[in-house]
A and B are shown apart, each in its own frame.
Chain A
Amino acid sequence: MSKTHKTLKKDSNKWIWLIGMVIMIIIILCPIYMMFKYSISDRTSVVTGGAVIPLWPYQPTTEQFNGLLENKGFINAFFTSLEVALLTVCISLVLGAPAAFSLARYKIPGKALIMILLISVRLFPDVVSVIPVTETFIKLKLTNSVLGVSLAHTLLGIPYVIYIAMGVFETIPKDLEEQAQILGASKLYAFLKIIIPIALPGLAAAAIYVFLLSWNEFIFSYFLLLFGESTTLPVLLKKILSWSPQHNTLAAISVMLSVPVIIFTFIVQKYMQAGATAGAVK
């Protein structure tokens, strides 16, 4: 009697779990499916004139993507985004990787304070810091330029580079550089020629993380580029939204913006997790 009761309870637990799982998967996949659906929708499946919007387009088409690839504004925004992101990666790595090595290896006085500084930079509300940064950049004539946006994105990127790279450098044995120094290499030489090549895969993950951060970033790009000629993809999306365009155009740009992110995220998932929960360590 009690045994059947137990298996019954176990069974019902399993069913609850399964139902929960299915609901969760639907909630997660639904918006993503809708984005792809809208991006390949033809005009009649979007502007239905009151009829039900179909869950699958009447006539799937790639016309939105073809249109985007011929659209000069989109192409320019795409390449601006790319330039900003690459420049951000370069500055963040050049500044951040040596700093991470230093924090991982040396007994720096005030190290705890520096870690607190990094966490506070990460947690500092960007909607608040954007005003003083924009005002300062206007004076320095850095608005509406790729460099200006990259400098602002670097501020957000450096803490992540340091977190991820510190973890990478800590896994590299100390003996390696000590032996190189015994053989007569300078500290700088040992760092550049021995440590960096070994750390490269981990640093690549940091680079991708910062690339995505800059690629997705909206607030600083929006404030710094609003009145200029060049815009990044997220800002372009916002600008187009205010002209109230057709939904399939919006979705197609969204797809172009997200696909690189989705691909790269799965490549660096392991490190992404460290980045996402960085600052969680107390």
Chain B
Amino acid sequence: MEKDNIVLIEKEGLINNLIVNIRKNSFGILILTPALLYLLAFLVIILYQIIILSLTYVAPNLSETFPTVKNFLDLANSKEFIGAFKRTIVFTLVGTPLELIAGMIAAGLIFREFRGRGIIRSLFTLPLAIPGIVTAIILFILFDYPFGHINDLLLGRHTFFPKIISTPIPWRSSAVFSLGVAMFGKVWRDMPISMLIILSGLQSITKDQYEAAKTMGAGALQQFKYITLPLLIPAISTVLVLRSIEMWKEFIFPFILAGSYPLLGTLIDRAYHEWNSATEAATIGLILLFCIIIFTTFLFYILSWLRRQLVKI
């Protein structure tokens, strides 16, 4: 009985505290509300609509059934969806490490002190300043078939470059080539982001730590293994998590460069505009969303496990 009373009083205290808190910060809450409502409204619309749409089946005679999982079953049996799904997984699994490696190389190159470092640093962030669609279109032009710059180069038609192939490569009519070019574009454009994150990770390691290791007789390799790598793990994890999400949802590069080999992102566009089916587009979107959530959670656990393995105190 008494215990209940205490709980009640505590509860009242909490509520009172909350009320005081709200009253004290009323101006803050007031000016926060519009933005918050805007975002929440969109979030509600997006989640509500996507669930309703994906559970609605529109028959060829335009009669609608709700709720049904027919869209999911149809997609599971559709060759186009399975193909896009497989391609997206490969695209993500190959592209994410590539982004990390590109960022690490760039960060490693500009980490040391040298003259003109500021300019080079700005130069390295230049790809970020080129709109994605522009990068995609430049690559579209460069990787043209049969007469494009890259084919010219590989055919040995310029004196400064050795001849590598004897017939021009049809870049856009093979899944490997077209998605490879799209991935190159993606990695090229996003390299600065990975670079900046890795760079800030590198800068957080102080010189003392290396000096201490050196006095204890650690070589360059040991320094990298026992100091740089473990201390860089947070930055690497950030790059991998953020970049893999970007890879899953990639749209513009495969859209322009690999039109015949859609990924899940570009398949959504195809479903909406070519198959004229908003419901199927929403279903693919929902599946993509689940893929991202599951993959990211999985990656997160692997990375924190790895961190525990590498950082031994």
The residues of A with any CB-CB pair to B shorter than 8 Å are: 17, 20-21, 24-25, 27-29, 31-32, 34-35, 38, 48, 50, 52-53, 55, 94-96, 98-99, 101-103, 105-109, 114, 117-118, 121, 123-136, 154-155, 158, 162, 187-188, 191, 215-216, 218-219, 223, 226, 234, 237-238, 241, 247, 250-251, 254, 257-258, 261-262, 265-266, 269, 272-273, 276-277, 279-280, 282
A124 cross-chain contacts in B, Cβ below 8 A = 46
B280 to chain A, nearest CB (A): 10
B68 to chain A, nearest CB (A): 18
Q: A24-B109, A48-B147 are in contact. Are A234 and B35 (CB under 8 A)?
A: no
Q: A31-B138, A34-B141, A136-B49 are in contact. Are A17 and B131 (CB under 8 A)?
A: no
Q: A28-B127, A99-B32, A155-B39 are in contact. Are A21 and B120 (CB under 8 A)?
A: yes
Interface hits, B216-275 → A, CB 8 Å? 238, 242, 245, 248-249, 251-252, 256, 264-265, 268-269, 272-273
Question: Contact: B147 with A126, CB < 8 Å?
Answer: no
Question: Contact: A117 with B39, CB < 8 Å?
Answer: yes
A34 cross-chain contacts in B, Cβ below 8 A = 138, 141-142, 149
A276 cross-chain contacts in B, Cβ below 8 A = 128, 192-193, 196
Question: Contact: B42 with A53, CB < 8 Å?
Answer: no
SS class, residues of chain A in contact with chain B: helix
Question: Contact: A99 with B36, CB < 8 Å?
Answer: yes
Compute how far the CA of A107 lies from the CA of B272 in the bound complex, rounded to whole angstroms. Answer: 44
Q: A123-B245, A276-B192 are in contact. Are A99 and B42 (CB under 8 A)?
A: no
B135 cross-chain contacts in A, Cβ below 8 A = 31
B130 within 8 A of A: yes
Question: Contact: B106 with A24, CB < 8 Å?
Answer: yes
Q: A50-B147, A133-B42, A276-B192 are in contact. Are A28 and B29 (CB under 8 A)?
A: no
A32 cross-chain contacts in B, Cβ below 8 A = 126, 130, 138
Question: Contact: B49 with A158, CB < 8 Å?
Answer: no
Question: Contact: B109 with A265, CB < 8 Å?
Answer: no
B76 within 8 A of A: no
A219 cross-chain contacts in B, Cβ below 8 A = 251-252
Q: Considering only CB atoms, which chain A residue lies closest to B289 in the complex?
A: A128
B313 to chain A, nearest CB (A): 21
B95 within 8 A of A: no
Question: Contact: A216 with B126, CB < 8 Å?
Answer: no
B43 within 8 A of A: yes
Q: A99-B36, A131-B278, A272-B128 are in contact. Are A125 and B188 (CB under 8 A)?
A: no
B273 cross-chain contacts in A, Cβ below 8 A = 226
Q: A21-B120, A108-B28 are in contact. Are A127 and B196 (CB under 8 A)?
A: no
Q: Considering only CB atoms, which chain B residue lies closest to A139 in the complex?
A: B49
Question: Contact: A238 with B134, CB < 8 Å?
Answer: no
Could you list 27 A-B pairs, sorted by A, with CB under 8 Å?
Answer: A24-B105, A31-B130, A31-B135, A31-B139, A32-B138, A34-B138, A35-B134, A53-B152, A102-B29, A106-B25, A106-B28, A117-B43, A125-B285, A129-B285, A131-B50, A132-B46, A132-B282, A133-B42, A135-B49, A158-B39, A234-B133, A258-B129, A258-B134, A261-B130, A265-B129, A276-B196, A282-B238
Question: Contact: B49 with A154, CB < 8 Å?
Answer: no
**Contacting B265 at CB < 8 Å: which of A106, A109, A125, A265?**
A125
The interface bits of chain B over 1-39 (1 if a CB of A lies within 8 angstroms of the residue's CB, else 0) are: 000000000000000001001101101110110111011
A275 to chain B, nearest CB (A): 10
Compute how far the CA of A162 lies from the CA of B174 in the bound complex, rounded to whole angstroms. Answer: 43
A269 cross-chain contacts in B, Cβ below 8 A = 122, 125
The total number of A-B Cβ pairs within 8 Å is 237
Q: Report which residue of B18, B29, B31, B251 has the largest number of chain A beta carbons within 10 angstroms of its beta carbon.
A: B31
Q: Considering only CB atoms, which chain A residue lies closest to B287 in the complex?
A: A128
A257 cross-chain contacts in B, Cβ below 8 A = 131, 133-134
Question: Contact: B46 with A20, CB < 8 Å?
Answer: no
Question: Contact: B35 with A128, CB < 8 Å?
Answer: no
B46 cross-chain contacts in A, Cβ below 8 A = 124, 128-129, 132-133
Q: A31-B139, A106-B27 are in contact. Are A154 and B38 (CB under 8 A)?
A: yes
B49 cross-chain contacts in A, Cβ below 8 A = 131-132, 135-136
**Contacting B193 at CB < 8 Å: which of A25, A265, A277?**
A277
The 3 closest A-B pairs by CB, nearest first: A106-B28, A132-B49, A125-B249
13 more A-B residue pairs beyond the given contacts A251-B141, A258-B130, with a C-beta to C-beta distance below 8 A = A21-B109, A24-B106, A25-B120, A31-B135, A52-B152, A53-B148, A108-B28, A127-B268, A131-B272, A131-B278, A135-B53, A238-B133, A262-B126
B45 within 8 A of A: yes
B287 to chain A, nearest CB (A): 9
Q: Considering only CB atoms, which chain A residue lies closest to B283 in the complex?
A: A131
Question: Contact: B142 with A108, CB < 8 Å?
Answer: no
B288 within 8 A of A: yes
Question: Contact: A53 with B149, CB < 8 Å?
Answer: yes
Compute how far the CA of A223 lies from the CA of B271 in the bound complex, rounded to whole angstroms. Answer: 12
Q: A95-B35, A155-B42, A257-B134 are in contact. Are A24 and B21 (CB under 8 A)?
A: no
